[in-house]
Structure 1
Amino acid sequence: MAAAADRTIPDLGGPGLRVLFSGINPSLYSAATGHHFARPGNRFWPALHRAGFTGRQLHPSEQFELPAAGLGITNVVARATTRADELSPAELTAGGAVLAALAAKWRPRYLAILGVTAYRTAFARPKAVLGLQPEPLGGVPVWVLPNPSGLNAHYTVDTLATAYAELRRAAAADPAR
């Protein structure tokens, strides 16, 4: 895994997505496999399915099925690390600017940032809470969701799915974007 340090994973998606999910940054495991949210303890894929975004639970190697469903994946910071807390505030801020530009280019209905602490740092919003944010990024509404990492012990797959389903309902009710 050490060989995967500082590697990146290409963004998955393009213009016209319903939701562009943004992780904080890839794990070393994800960088080694080339698949987003690939670490076995990560709960992104089960939460995505249980929230109703996918008809079945996808394996990380099936990530390329997401754009056909109107879903994409990117990261606030492209560089892979063992843990997200290895990123500096400056890296998060710089990555936030890149993410805002990507949102402006692709124009998804919603940009979902998976991790409130990273969102607070990257976008200088120290009091932000989970849910729909009052200010868009790149002209796109932002929804902050809990980080699906297994290290986020405050959430189970079921509670993650409940939070993610709220975004799914909002994206389905807003077909004009």
Structure 2
Amino acid sequence: MSRFTPQELESARGRIVPDVVAGGLRVLFCGINPSLMTAATGHHFARPGNRFWPVLHAAGFTPRRLLPAEQDELLSYGLGITNVVARATARADELAPDEFVAGGSVLAAKVERLRPGWLAVVGVTAYRAAFGDRTARIGPQRERIGGSRVWVLPNPSGLNARWSLDAMAEEYGRLREAAEAR
């Protein structure tokens, strides 16, 4: 992975990182918003310490651990990536509540158009803010979006110390099993 100066990372603030999507995916993973590292590289979940790629493999979604630069390979496995809020920030707490609500509307329209089997939002706080569901918990949700089922997953950020890699892989694995049963 390339090394970036603090100035290079700061210049990535506000950038939009293209989605990795196609119609009819098994699972569309949805992050909160791109980090500055993601925006600088153009690759989702690129920040060192983010556990998305190791967890995806450990849960059985991919046959090997992919690197962020290999994100387009996800499409061959029926998987994709998008975000609730498109603009890059250093931290998710830089996003305003109205950005989450607006992002939820954009996300719902995207899901209705793409029709994945599952929308998997990584981060219960982001899901609650985007969809106004204060009672949401990790796991499958009652609500559907455009016919797609919804699963809230633990945030794979290295800052989310409440979830170990193994515990996250187990929860992501539950989603994989549900997606395969479809």
- Global fold match (TM > 0.5): yes
Return the offset for 1:142.
Answer: 0.5
Counterparts of 1:32-71 in structure 2, within 5 Å, are 32-71=40-79
Aligned pairs, how many? 174
TM-score normalised by length of structure 1:
0.97
Asked if residue 87 in structure 1 is aligned to residue 100 in structure 2, the reply is: no
Report what 1:135 is aligned to. Answer: 143
Give the residue type in structure 1 aligned to 2:32: I
Counterpart selection for 1:14 from 4, 19, 22:
22
- Regions of 4+ moved over 4 Å: none
Secondary structure in structure 1 of the residue aligned to 2:137: coil
Q: Which residue of 2 aligns with 1:113?
A: 121
Q: What CA distance in whole angstroms lies between the structure 1 residues aligned with 2:92 and 2:154? A: 14
Partner of 1:25: 33
Output one character per residue of 1:73-105: Cα deviation in whole Å (capped at 9) or x when no partner: 000000000011111110000000000000000
CA–CA distance in 2 between the matches of 1:107 and 1:137? 9
Give the structure 1 partner of residue 4 of structure 2: none
Give the counterpart letter for 1:12 in structure 2. V
Matches within 5 A, 1:97-112: 97-112=105-120
CA RMSD, 1 decimal: 0.6
Deviation string 1:101-140 (CA, Å, 9 cap, x unpaired) is: 0000000000000000111111000111011100112221
Distance 1:139 1:10 in 2: 24
Q: Name the SS for the 1:15 alignment partner.
A: coil
Tell me which residue corresponds to 2:82.
74
Q: Which consecutive unaligned segments of at least 5 residues does structure 1 have? A: none
Partner amino acid, structure 1, of 2:154: P
Structure 2-normalised TM-score?
0.94
- Matches of 2:26 and 2:145, distance apart in 1: 15
Alpha-carbon distance in 1 for matches of 2:16, 2:159: 21
Aligned partners of 1:146 and 1:85: how far apart in 2?
Answer: 17
